[in-house]
Amino acid sequence: MSAAVHLARAVRSELTKLSWRSPVWLAIVPIAVALPLAVNASLAVASRMNKINGGGGMDTNNAGYWVMIFATIILMSAGVSSLSNEFRYATAQLVYCVQTRRWVLPVAKLIVFGVIAAVAVLVTMVILLAVFPVVFPTVWGRVDMGSPAGIRLLWALPVFAFCVCALGVGIAALVPRPGVVVGGVLLWKFGIEAFSAMLPVKVGNAVQRWMPFKNGELGAGQYPTSHPAFGGANGALLYFALVAAVFFVLGTVRLSRRDLATD
């Protein structure tokens, strides 16, 4: 039987596990969609009431900021938890009895949870770009879904979300502990990358050009605050995708070798 058939069966198996009572549908996806919408709506209302300084209103290339901050990490946690739980509850051994190709399990996880993340982010961005300018015209009036910046958010931000999921699943294959994985990603994104902005200007600018999340967010359509080292937004997104792919491949190889050694 071909590898493609085995992979297709593994993907169907993962989808079967996601019953309507799954926390993915009841909590993770709703929170990932609702939280950025709620934050943006709250800020728009506060700005309209002059409770905060809205800085003249929202621009299209800043409309996906809270989606990048919240939704991508929340959705990543679904794939991380799913893969980690296979080892926590020893169900991975049952999977391997049926499917001897070890790489199929993490790849199937990535396909299912990566697509869920991409679709959830796309839905969130459509709501932000299409509905918010109508509901909050004084704040979101300049946001244009049909502009180059808006179109980029609609395709590049879902790609970014898929890559974040690949990064998380890859690290989970290396260290199958969801708290450690999510905490490590958060520490890097909000600790190390944020700290790099506090370095002396020349050093900080040079370091930030190589920060993975910084490049990924710029490539996904966020307003650029630094010059990427990879020839613009497309190069920056490709760089982040490459970093995510490296971790995913390393995790998959490590998972295969470890399991084969203990058979």
Nearest to 182 by CA among 263, 73, 97: 73
| DSSP summary character for residue 53 | -
Quick one: pLDDT at residue 262?
A: 40
The tens digit of pLDDT for each residue in 78-105 reads: 999 999 998 887 777 777 776 667 888 8
Mean pLDDT of 239-249: 97
Q: In 3D, which of 169, 51, 63 has the Cα closest to residue 116?
A: 169
Give the pLDDT band of residue 263 (cuts 50, 70, 90).
very low
Percentage of the residues of the chain whose pLDDT score is greater than 70? 93
Q: Is the pTM of this model over 0.75?
A: yes
Average predicted confidence (pLDDT) for the chain: 89
Q: Return the closest-CA partner of residue 161 out of 113, 197, 226, 210.
A: 113
Where b means 16+ CB within 10 Å and e means fewer, 17-35 reads ebeeeeebeeebbeebbeb
Helix (H) or strand (E) holding 132: helix 132-135
Measure CA 93 to chain center. 28
3-class DSSP state for residue 242?
helix
Per residue in 8-38, pLDDT tens?
A: 888 998 898 888 888 999 999 999 999 999 9
Residues 6+ away with beta carbon under 8 Å from 226:
205, 208, 209, 214, 218
pLDDT at 186: 95
